[in-house]
């Protein structure tokens, strides 16, 4: 469809990305429109849906984020938004910048970065701007972002390694500065993520339009961070410091850490010792050379004046950076360059410090802005909206690399350009002409960090495994009991309520809560209550699962994000209403997908071992609890048949049992399949075999001894005695096996997550 039939009507006399100022279609847009293919409402709506789906796969459905704070992190609205997730929408129409125009913008951005770095060096050094009166001393020292501890001779080698600049066109099409971001700039990860989505949606369109690639920018950032390390570090190690999963831009941080191949660490993951930063890993303390920080100045170091982050931050990191033990990128104190007072004098400072005028002027407050077509899916139409573009600049040595594209933010009606409120992003395409290739450098020596796992990551992976298994057991038990009741409502009356008591015991065992005494309440009432409690328990386990997964997103496959997004939505339904069988089946399918991804798409390193270790411990305990609760009491054959089938189905073994025995349920055969059959991946014996492998793989003989104790106890067989002997023997077996498994679970926490660790040096340092 051509532009003439789009029914797109920007305001006359205002510059629009499609029509310019005079209303005639710009040539650059005609070419790209052809490359984009059909632009009819139905096609755009389908592309929007696909973009939503792909973003969801990257974690936007379960990780907390709020794009509106990417520019204004400190607004009251931003602080309030950090408690919940606001998935953004990626517009299916890109934002276009012609190559010649972008080259001018890039040069202006580099100039501005150099001037800002010179201003920072002066404000924390000789203070010539203060001496000449250009920046009054009372103004400088009155700024809350001024950090006196950041200055001093030789304290900072480089103030800015990364820099983000927000720009926008005015109504005439001229570019202006909206805001500078120097403290902990965001946007690079969002740009890469948005481009990855549109690349999958419009692979031919990108090529046909000649859009400049941006994927190499991440490689440039990794090299720049390595180049910023102290000169005596032969193979410098970088980490990305995050405030944690509750951060408003955690999606980007997690994505960028994965793309850079570096650890995403929180304050508790690192410690300062002898002037250096050390990563708390499962094998000891490992040295860190460069911190790419996404924790702003005000929350970086609790020991520094003006710290407002509570327990967030790394005590002593500013002192360590001043001593040269670790490099902060960007340097502590760089938030000063974002102050409006600095922006007011920046043009004069550029002349005073650099002898040149700034190319870009500030966008006047309340100025009318140019527009760009934005797809409105509610009305399936394109509407003109102002857009702010965030450019990214990376400095390596004396070289500067500007990402040939960026992230565009759509403004809602009445928005301040510096604080977009609309959750709509645009991928920015630089088109026309060939991009200049980045300067290549010799990479530092390769070091294999595959075995390096932060203690917090191992902890989260372990509890992720346990939460995933608990969620599956609770959901499956709930589904099985509900299904049996659907098929035969008279089960509640079988043998004077024996089935109902066993079903309640099975549901409670799946929740790991004690059995309830019979208080005389009618079966129909308490069984309904038990089903509701089981649904809420399953939802609570899904919450725990998603929370643990959110903190280790970079260790999970890309597809896992889509599954986690669905589970995050499912937990709300489980906790708020009685779930339908279809809802439970969907949850079980997603949990099975998560298990498969963990098995087939996660590298079998130490992190995976802790994930599987948690899953195997929890599965073994769940099987023991279910057999003890539902099959332990002596019951008649009618109730036993249904309860045994429910127990088998709750642990994915009913089909295997029917295939193997092809007869009515026999208790001995059921127990053998669930407890002793090491070919059944749901049996206790199978879990013990896997636990033995993990203890050996982790080089953990103490854990291995607990596993062997459980294996020896499992060798006992249930005695089919008389007079209730079966119950006593089964209880005794469960207790004797459960004890070593619980001891193993306690030992995991004591050994890996609670004991102090000793410093070690990674090979290659």
pLDDT tens digit string along 311-349? 789 999 999 999 899 999 999 999 999 999 999 999 999
Which phi and psi angles does 169 have, rounded to 5°? -90, 145
| For residue 635, pLDDT beyond 80 | no
Alpha helices per DSSP H over 202-337: 203-209, 216-227, 250-260, 297-300, 317-322
| For residue 76, pLDDT beyond 50 | no
Tokens read off for 358: 């700034």
Give the C-alpha distances (Å, rounded to integers) separating 731 from 320, 470, 632, 643, 720.
Answer: 58, 22, 7, 17, 13
Please indicate whether residue 714 or residue 572 has the higher confidence score (pLDDT). Answer: 714
| For residue 439, pLDDT beyond 60 | no
For 732-760, the pLDDT digits (tens) are 899 999 999 999 999 999 998 885 544 44
**pLDDT average, residue stretch 196-214:** 91
**pLDDT average, residue stretch 557-583:** 80
Asked if residues 369 and 168 have their Cβ atoms less than 8 Å apart, the reply is yes
In the DSSP assignment, the letter for residue 93 is S
Mean pLDDT of the chain, nearest integer: 86
Res 757: pLDDT: 44
**Rounded CA gap, 711 and 306, in Å?**
56
| For residue 428, pLDDT beyond 90 | yes
Confidence at 547, pLDDT banded by 50, 70, 90: confident
Could you tell me what percent of the chain has a pLDDT over 70? 88
As a 3-state breakdown, the chain gives helix, strand, coil percent values, each rounded to 5, of 50, 15, 35
**Rounded CA gap, 576 and 573, in Å?**
5
| For residue 77, pLDDT beyond 60 | no
pTM for the full model? 0.85
Q: Can you tell me whether residue 400 is helix, strand or coil?
A: strand
**Rounded CA gap, 605 and 609, in Å?**
6
**Rounded CA gap, 688 and 678, in Å?**
9
Res 482: pLDDT: 86
Q: Can you tell me whether residue 282 is helix, strand or coil?
A: coil
**Rounded CA gap, 719 and 267, in Å?**
54
Give the best-scoring range by mean pLDDT among 9-23, 485-499, 550-564, 701-715. Answer: 701-715
Res 154: pLDDT: 66
């Amino acid at each position: 469809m051509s532009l003439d039939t789009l029914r797109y009507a920007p305001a006359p006399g205002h510059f629009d990305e499609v029509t310019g100022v005079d209303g005639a279609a710009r040539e650059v847009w005609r070419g790209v429109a052809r490359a984009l293919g059909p632009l009819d409402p139905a096609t755009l709506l389908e592309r929007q849906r696909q973009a939503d789906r792909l973003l969801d796969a990257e974690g936007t459905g379960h990780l907390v984020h709020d794009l509106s704070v990417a520019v204004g992190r400190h607004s009251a609205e931003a602080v309030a938004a950090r408690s919940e997730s606001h998935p953004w929408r990626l517009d299916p129409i890109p934002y276009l910048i012609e190559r010649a125009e972008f080259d001018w913008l890039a040069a202006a951005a580099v100039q501005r970065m150099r001037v800002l770095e010179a201003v920072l060096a002066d404000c924390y050094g000789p203070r010539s701007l203060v001496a000449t009166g250009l920046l009054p001393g009372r103004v400088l020292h009155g700024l809350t972002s001024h950090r006196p501890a950041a200055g001093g001779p030789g304290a900072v080698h480089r103030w800015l390694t990364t820099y983000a600049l927000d720009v926008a066109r005015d109504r005439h099409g001229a570019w202006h500065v909206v805001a500078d971001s120097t403290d902990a700039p965001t946007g690079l990860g969002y740009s890469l993520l948005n481009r990855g989505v549109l690349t999958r949606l419009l692979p031919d369109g990108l090529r046909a339009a000649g859009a400049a690639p941006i994927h190499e920018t991440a490689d440039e950032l990794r090299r720049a961070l390595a180049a910023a390390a102290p000169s005596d570090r032969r193979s410098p190690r970088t980490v990305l410091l995050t405030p944690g999963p509750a951060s408003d831009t955690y999606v980007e941080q997690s994505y960028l850490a994965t793309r850079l191949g570096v650890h995403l660490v929180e304050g508790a993951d690192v410690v300062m010792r002898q002037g250096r930063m050390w990563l708390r890993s499962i094998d000891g303390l490992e040295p860190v050379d460069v911190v790419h920080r996404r924790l702003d100045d005000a929350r970086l170091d609790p020991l520094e004046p003006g710290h407002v982050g509570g327990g967030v931050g790394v005590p002593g990191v500013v002192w360590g950076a001043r001593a040269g033990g670790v490099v902060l990128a960007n340097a502590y104190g760089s938030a000063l360059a974002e102050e409006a007072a600095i922006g007011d004098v920046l043009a004069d400072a550029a002349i005073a410090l650099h002898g040149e005028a700034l190319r870009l002027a500030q966008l006047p407050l309340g100025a009318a802005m140019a527009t760009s077509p934005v797809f409105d899916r509610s009305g399936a139409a394109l509407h003109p909206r102002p857009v702010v573009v965030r450019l990214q600049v990376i400095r390596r040595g004396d070289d500067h690399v500007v990402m040939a594209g960026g992230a565009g933010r759509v403004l809602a009606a009445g928005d301040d350009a510096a604080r977009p409120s609309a959750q709509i992003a645009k991928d920015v395409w630089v088109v026309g002409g060939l991009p200049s290739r980045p300067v290549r450098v010799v990479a530092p020596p390769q070091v294999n960090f595959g075995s390096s796992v932060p203690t917090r990551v191992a902890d989260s992976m372990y509890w992720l495994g346990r939460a995933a298994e608990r969620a599956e057991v609770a959901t499956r038990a709930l589904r099985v009991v509900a299904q049996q009741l659907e098929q035969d409502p008279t089960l509640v009356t079988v043998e004077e309520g024996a089935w109902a008591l066993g079903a309640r015991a099975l549901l409670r065992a799946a929740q790991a809560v004690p059995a309830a005494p019979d208080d005389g309440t009618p079966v129909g009432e308490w069984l309904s209550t038990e089903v509701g409690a089981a649904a809420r328990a399953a939802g609570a386990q899904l919450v725990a699962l998603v929370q643990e997964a959110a903190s280790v997103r970079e260790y999970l496959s890309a597809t896992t994000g889509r599954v986690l997004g669905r589970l995050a939505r499912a937990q709300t339904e489980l906790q708020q209403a009685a779930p339908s069988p279809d809802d439970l089946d969907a949850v079980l399918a997603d949990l099975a997908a998560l298990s498969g991804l963990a098995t087939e798409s996660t590298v079998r390193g130490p992190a995976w071992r802790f994930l599987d270790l948690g899953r195997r411990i929890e599965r073994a305990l769940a099987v023991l609890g279910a057999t003890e609760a539902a099959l332990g009491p002596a019951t008649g054959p009618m109730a036993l048949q249904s309860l045994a089938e429910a127990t088998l189905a709750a642990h994915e073994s009913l089909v295997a049992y029917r295939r193997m025995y092809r007869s009515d349920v026999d208790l001995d055969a059921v127990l053998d399949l669930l407890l002793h059959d090491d070919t059944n991946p749901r049996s206790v014996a199978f879990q013990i075999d896997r636990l033995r492998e993990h203890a050996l793989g982790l080089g953990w003989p103490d854990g291995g001894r607990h596993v062997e104790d459980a294996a020896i106890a499992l060798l006992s067989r249930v005695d089919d005695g008389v007079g209730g002997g079966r119950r006593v023997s089964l209880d005794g077996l469960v207790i004797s096996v459960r004890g070593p498994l619980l001891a193993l679970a306690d030992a995991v926490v004591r050994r890996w997550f609670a004991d102090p660790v000793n410093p070690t040096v990674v090979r290659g340092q």
